[in-house]
């Protein structure tokens, strides 16, 4: 197989055995990027020089006999995660020239192992969207079909991993932004439990929902990357004070006796029949592997999308108030006073979807509507969380589709925000409840990937990885690579 199509753990083994060097691997990945990027547009910034230098250092580290698992492995990072000295734009005009002077905690943690940064991933502006079409620069395309979207908002990272422009990536997930693009690009994506991975240095969208997580080619890589980024961080006050376990220990192909619930609200209306069929087939395989499968019901699921579109815009309207053209980022020059400068900065610096969210949130938080919308949404959020908690007394995990459809065409949903919002109907509940959820490939329809989702109670990442791994070992969807 070509080097750029290797998984991180495969490449790691070759590096440690000195069968390849990180420079060779990095050159292969950069070459692949040069060749495919004009069509794919998965990057905002390619950091070729940094990559080659880090690769040389990784080779020295390997030669000295002290390599870590991710030493010398090329990765891409979503462009809302701060990288010291490297532009971090959130795919927005507002931050087009913003160069952070510090690293996000996840970068500091990864860097301990000495991976290779090949670039920053394209995304929907400020992570608001489900197709990457809201990037202020250009949309990313799906490596399985260039006429279609890769999903979003981590569409760049997902497309880059699937296409072999990197071996793994980090994305962020507020309502599905890791899992939905993972599903649409045929790869693995994990949204960790809220608080498991530090948000320090992640540009905030909706702070009570945002989580950083891995996008990888298989479940083993997912566990490896999670190992390096999970665990307590005093710089994030919502970080759980806990030492994360070694997630690779969960990678055993045995799920005998595990209780899997299949919530009926995630099937049927609104779900493409081929997606439903593939997910149901996968559930049968899990049953054959020894899981005890049972249909169940989570009736409050139907309110999750509405709750999300109150809470996420409310938090975003507060978080994005900082972009005033005074402290940093884009600043409109030529106004006659500070108020006009702020107004113009925000008018020109933000795209249409970001403005829509800010207005929705400002409205929901305004005096007189706060109780009716924001407070009500918080109450329903509590009820949804409770419903999940009850379900997890009976089940170890819940299995559902990840995206209701296979990848859709570019332009198909941009004019209809509600249609676009529906793409996250299966993924949003996990963010509302703060629970972990993993997306893994489970089939294809007319050459387009289909993904399933496994949700579990807070801090049950090991259970999710175990089920995902057992299923993966019994199938070979994860071995397919797009023909670009
Ligand atoms: N698509 C959803 C939104 O637009 C979720 C985005 C995300 O998870 N960042 O808000």
- Encode pLDDT of 371-410 as tens digits: 999 999 999 999 999 999 999 999 999 999 999 999 999 9
Q: In ligand 1, which atom is closest to the CA atom of 172?
A: 9
| pLDDT at residue 291, rounded to an integer | 98
Mutate to test the pocket of ligand 1, among 79, 122, 174 (most ligand atoms within 8 A of CB): 174
Q: In ligand 1, which atom is closest to the CA atom of 173?
A: 8
Count Cα neighbours of 92 within 13 Å in the Cβ-side half-sphere. Answer: 30
CA of 331 to the centre of ligand 1 (A): 26
pLDDT tens sequence across 349-362: 999 999 999 999 99
Q: Which sequence positions are flagged as catalytic?
A: 78, 153, 177
Q: How far is CA 465 from CA 181, 246, 252, 472, in A?
A: 19, 12, 9, 10
Q: What is the mean pLDDT of residues 407-434?
A: 95
Q: In ligand 1, which atom is closest to the CA atom of 209?
A: 8
What fold, for 3-258+396-479?
Amidase signature (AS) enzymes (3.90.1300)
CA of 72 to the centre of ligand 1 (A): 31
Distance between terminal CA atoms of the chain? Answer: 15
Mutate to test the pocket of ligand 1, among 152, 189, 215, 428 (most ligand atoms within 8 A of CB): 152
Q: Whose CA is nearest to atom 10 of ligand 1?
A: 128
Query: What is the CB < 6 Å shell around ligand 1?
Result: 127-130, 153, 173-177, 205, 312, 424
How confident is residue 207, by pLDDT bands cut at 50, 70 and 90? very high
pLDDT tens sequence across 101-136: 999 999 999 999 999 999 999 999 999 999 999 999
CA of 477 to the centre of ligand 1 (A): 26
Tokens in use for 288?
Answer: 């054959």
Separate counts of helices (H) and strands (E) for the chain: 15, 11
| pLDDT at residue 412, rounded to an integer | 95
Other beta carbons within 10 angstroms of residue 476's beta carbon come to 9
Directed axis angle between helix 376-394 and helix 304-319, to 10°?
130
Query: What is the per-residue burial (b if ≥16 Cβ within 10 Å, else e) of 197-234?
Result: bbbbbbbbbbebbbbbbbbbbbbbbbbbbbbbbbbebe
pLDDT tens sequence across 211-254: 999 999 999 999 999 999 999 999 999 999 999 999 999 999 99
DSSP structural state of residue 196:
T
Judge whether 259 and 394 are in contact, CB under 8 Å: yes
| pLDDT at residue 76, rounded to an integer | 99
Starting at the edge strand found earlier in the chain, the sheet holding 116-121 runs 43-46, 116-121, 74-78, 168-173, 211-216, 188-191, 437-445, 448-455, 397-401, 259-263, 292-296
Tokens in use for 467?
Answer: 């089920």
Q: In ligand 1, which atom is closest to the CA atom of 176?
A: 8
Q: Whose CA is nearest to atom 5 of ligand 1?
A: 175
Judge whether 233 and 212 are in contact, CB under 8 Å: no
Mean pLDDT, the chain, integer: 97
CA of 425 to the centre of ligand 1 (A): 11
CA-based nearest residue to 70, from 119, 121, 112, 28 = 112
Q: Which residues contact 132 (CB under 8 A, 6 or more apart)?
A: 122, 123, 124, 139, 140, 149, 150, 151, 152, 153, 155, 156, 181
Rounded to whole angstroms, the maximal C-alpha distance in the chain is 71
Q: Which residues contact 315 (CB under 8 A, 6 or more apart)?
A: 204, 205, 206, 207, 208, 209, 361
Tokens in use for 84?
Answer: 């010291």
Q: In ligand 1, which atom is closest to the CA atom of 128?
A: 4
How confident is residue 1, by pLDDT bands cut at 50, 70 and 90? confident
CA of 112 to the centre of ligand 1 (A): 30
pTM value?
A: 0.98
Q: Residues in the chain, how many? A: 484
CA of 355 to the centre of ligand 1 (A): 15
């Amino acid at each position: 197989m070509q080097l750029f199509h290797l998984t991180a753990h495969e490449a790691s083994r070759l590096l440690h055995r000195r069968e390849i060097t990180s420079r060779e691997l990095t050159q292969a990945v950069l070459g692949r990027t040069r060749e495919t990027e004009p069509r794919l547009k998965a990057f905002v910034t390619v950091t070729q020089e940094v990559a080659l230098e880090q690769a040389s250092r990784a080779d020295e580290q390997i030669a000295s006999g002290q390599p870590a698992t991710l030493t010398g492995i090329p990765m891409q990072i979503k462009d809302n995660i701060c990288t010291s000295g490297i532009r971090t734009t959130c795919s927005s005009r507002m931050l087009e020239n913003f160069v952070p002077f510090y690293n996000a905690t996840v970068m500091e943690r990864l860097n301990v192992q000495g991976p290779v940064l090949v670039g920053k991933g394209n995304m929907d502006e400020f992570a608001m969207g489900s197709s990457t079409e809201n990037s202020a620069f250009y949309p990313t395309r799906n490596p399985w079909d260039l006429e279609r979207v890769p999903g979003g908002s981590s569409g760049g990272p997902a497309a880059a991993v699937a296409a072999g422009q990197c071996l793994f990536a980090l994305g962020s997930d507020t309502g599905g932004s890791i899992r939905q693009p993972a599903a649409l690009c045929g790869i693995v994506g994990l949204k960790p439990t809220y608080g498991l991975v530090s948000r320090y240095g992640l540009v905030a969208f909706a702070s009570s929902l945002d989580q950083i997580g891995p996008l990888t080619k298989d479940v083993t890589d997912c566990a490896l990357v999670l190992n390096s980024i999970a665990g307590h961080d005093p710089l994030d006050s919502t970080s759980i004070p806990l030492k994360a376990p070694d997630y690779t220990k969960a990678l055993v192909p045995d799920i005998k006796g595990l209780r899997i619930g299949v919530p009926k609200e995630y099937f049927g209306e609104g779900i493409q029949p081929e997606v439903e069929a593939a997910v149901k087939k996968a559930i049968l395989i899990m049953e054959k592997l020894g899981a005890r499968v049972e249909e169940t019901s989570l009736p409050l699921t139907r309110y999750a999308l509405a709750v999300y579109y109150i809470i996420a815009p409310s938090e975003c309207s507060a978080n994005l108030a900082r972009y005033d053209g005074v402290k940093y980022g884009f600043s409109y020059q030529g106004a006659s006073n500070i108020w006009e400068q702020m107004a113009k900065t925000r008018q020109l610096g933000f795209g249409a979807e970001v403005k829509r969210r800010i207005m929705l949130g400002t409205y929901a938080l305004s005096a007189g509507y706060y109780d009716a919308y924001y407070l009500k949404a918080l109450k329903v959020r509590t009820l949804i969380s409770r419903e999940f908690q009850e379900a997890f007394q009976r089940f170890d995990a819940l299995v559902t589709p990840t995206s209701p459809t296979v990848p859709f065409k570019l332009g198909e949903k941009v004019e209809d925000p509600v249609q676009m919002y529906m793409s996250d109907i299966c993924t949003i509940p996990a963010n509302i409840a703060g629970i972990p959820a993993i997306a893994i490939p489970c089939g294809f329809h007319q050459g387009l990937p289909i993904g399933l989702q496994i949700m579990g109670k807070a801090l049950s990442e090991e259970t999710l990885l175990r089920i995902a791994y057992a299923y993966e070992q019994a199938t070979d969807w994860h071995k397919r690579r797009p023909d670009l």
